Chains A and B, each alone.
Chain A
Amino acid sequence: MPTDMPDDTPRPESSMDTDETASDSASDLGSANGQAAPDEASAAASTADPSTRPKIEIQDLNFWYTDTHALKGITMNVKPHQVTALIGPSGCGKSTLLRCLNRMNELIDGTTLEGDVHVDGQDIYAPNTDPVMVRRRIGMVFQKPNPFPKTIYKNVAWGAQINGYTGDMDALVERSLRQAALWDEVKDQLHSSALNLSGGQQQRLCIARTLAVQPDVVLMDEPASALDPIATSKIEETITELKSEYTIVIVTHNMQQASRISDETAFLYMGRLIEMNPTDKLFTRPEKDRTEAYVTGRFG
């Protein structure tokens, strides 16, 4: 039975090692209710060639807020170690789609979901999958910087602590803050309140907090929309650097941002996936007229 936390050695970076971590996570998800045995299909899936297997597979996903049909038959794949951007006009469902990937939406009363989401071949909506373990593997950074009203140190350490981290906490906090490009700015004030930081620093602290639990996937919901241009460029730099270790899905309003940082871009409109292609192609030679109209600013 693999334990859910790797020790405090640095994260494995080669694709083979990543696959091993992934199969750990598969067992994690399955063991939610003491049902330890992962089903055959997912066991087979986790031994498939990791270079071709998508990190996230979304199959015919439908989502409702009470009576509002917010996502209509979304099918798409997210590749590992890439930045995937979700773009589209306000209300098109991009944030909803993002929040379906770590089961955040089920915290809202009156929502319904149909369809499948597989992460590393594991059905995250299977009855015996524990949403707590899903969120521990698939972290999230929100639109508004929302650090806990605690010290900087505790903000980063809390997630690791509640997930039973046994390694050197100081080292983990430092590593997470370095990954989020915040360490040099806060290393002398780790034990002062996180609320004293600027908005951009708070958002990078939220990224560090997410990285501290060592997720596989990081979801970002317009992480730079509340920030000034300098803070935004720092966040973008951070995202680009994180790509080698994490799979990143980012929702953004800003098409320049999508074209700057993402490898693949998905365009959503009225709850439907209109087009998903490599970012270069989607912005220069879109297949659909509606995509072209949107990326050239003719509507939306």
Chain B
Amino acid sequence: MESSSNGTFHLRRTRRKRIGMILAGVLFLATISGIIVLLTLLVDVALTAGGWLDVQFLNSLPSRFADQAGIKPALYGSLWLMGLTALISVPLGVASAIYLEEYAQDGWFLKLIQINIANLAGVPSVVYGILGLALFVRFAALGQSLLAGALTLSLLILPIIIISTQEALRSLPTGLRESAYALGATRWQVIWSHVLPNAAPGIFTGVILALSRAIGETAPLILIGALTFVPFLPQSAMDQFTALPIQIFNWTARPQDEFRGLAAAAIVVLMILLFAMNLSAILLRDYFERQTAGE
């Protein structure tokens, strides 16, 4: 059509630029509002925790008397839980992801598994608690032990680890695998020497994020019967236990004002633990990125 090419342009530069500026402002506000709420929370908690957070608090057993109470058993319980959960969920999750990405043949069966894993990642944690109670506490007769808790938390975060590991494996360039295969490498040699080292930063990030989710979980632990008052330290994986979120939950439910300060102090400890985990994720990722760069 000759006629259509005879139109003129209305550039409207000021108008277009103004719309761009308004949008940038809206996006900035959205970012800021989330951060402000989070900061308010942190500052408020830190102020309430003020006088309570000291060495005695970290090093004492819980008590009826607020000034003698501490979080040592809860802190130990949480660390035990994290360690055991990591030991169970990381090998299982990474192995599943490697199988699904590198070995499994495309087909309806693989699709079914994928959909199920994605769904499991969205199941409420209470449901995992019920499952853990039936499966580990009762059926496997592990009792209200650290091991039962860790197994339940492992189930909870397995889908997250699998999905994030799959993403990490998928994001590798195909040329990497092909060039290794072209040298006469077996599938396992390709995975071990090239796929895993190059996917490691992504895998670690996913694992730490998943563990960070597990450390804050309360509901499934309550369901499988973690104790609220534990005047001893766990000595083995079969011991009864409590964990930081449960201790916090317990203290906030007390009528006395002092215990609110204790709860706030415990929250600060939990936050520091989380921060340390995320920091280690970043450091590990940097380390592996430098490794694979061949330095």
**Contact between B184 and A163 (Cβ–Cβ < 8 Å)?**
yes
Which residues in B have their C-beta under 8 angstroms from that of A144? 175
**Contact between A132 and B186 (Cβ–Cβ < 8 Å)?**
yes
**Contact between A159 and B183 (Cβ–Cβ < 8 Å)?**
yes
- Identity of the chain A residue whose Cβ is nearest the Cβ of B179 in the assembled complex: A146
Contact with A along B27-68 (1 / 0, CB 8 A): 000000000000000000000000000000000000000000
**Contact between B182 and A192 (Cβ–Cβ < 8 Å)?**
no
CB distance from B209 to the nearest CB of A (A): 24
CB distance from B184 to the nearest CB of A (A): 3
Determine which residue in A149, A151, A192 has the highest number of CB atoms from chain B within 10 A of its CB, and name it. Answer: A149
Which residues in B have their C-beta under 8 angstroms from that of A149? 198, 292-294
**Contact between B105 and A109 (Cβ–Cβ < 8 Å)?**
yes
**Contact between B182 and A139 (Cβ–Cβ < 8 Å)?**
yes
CA distance A195 to B180 in the complex (A): 16
One of A36-44, A67-75, A205-213, A275-283 contacting the partner: A205-213
Contacting A at CB under 8 A, from B264-295, are 292-295
Contact with A along B227-248 (1 / 0, CB 8 A): 0000000000000000000000
**Contact between B185 and A162 (Cβ–Cβ < 8 Å)?**
yes
**Contact between B198 and A104 (Cβ–Cβ < 8 Å)?**
no
Given the known interface contacts A158-B193, A162-B189, the answer about A192 and B294 at a Cβ–Cβ threshold of 8 Å is yes
Contact with B along A93-120 (1 / 0, CB 8 A): 0000000001010010110000000000
CA distance A144 to B105 in the complex (A): 27
CB distance from B130 to the nearest CB of A (A): 39
Kindly identify which residue among B180, B189, B194, B294 contacts A151, using a CB–CB cutoff of 8 Å.
B294
Total interface residues on A, CB under 8 Å, equals 32
Kindly identify which residue among A107, A151, A163 contacts B181, using a CB–CB cutoff of 8 Å.
A107
Which residues in A have their C-beta under 8 angstroms from that of B175? 142, 144, 146
CA distance A206 to B175 in the complex (A): 12
Which residues in A have their C-beta under 8 angstroms from that of B183? 135-136, 139, 158-159, 162-163, 209-210, 213
Which residues in B have their C-beta under 8 angstroms from that of A136? 183-184
**Contact between A146 and B294 (Cβ–Cβ < 8 Å)?**
no
Contacting A at CB under 8 A, from B178-225, are 178-186, 189, 193-194, 198
Q: Does B122 contact A (CB under 8 A)?
A: no
CB distance from B224 to the nearest CB of A (A): 42
B residues contacting A by CB (< 8 A) are 105-106, 173, 175-186, 189, 193-194, 198, 292-295
* 7 A-B pairs closest in CB distance: A136-B184, A193-B294, A159-B183, A146-B175, A140-B182, A149-B292, A150-B294
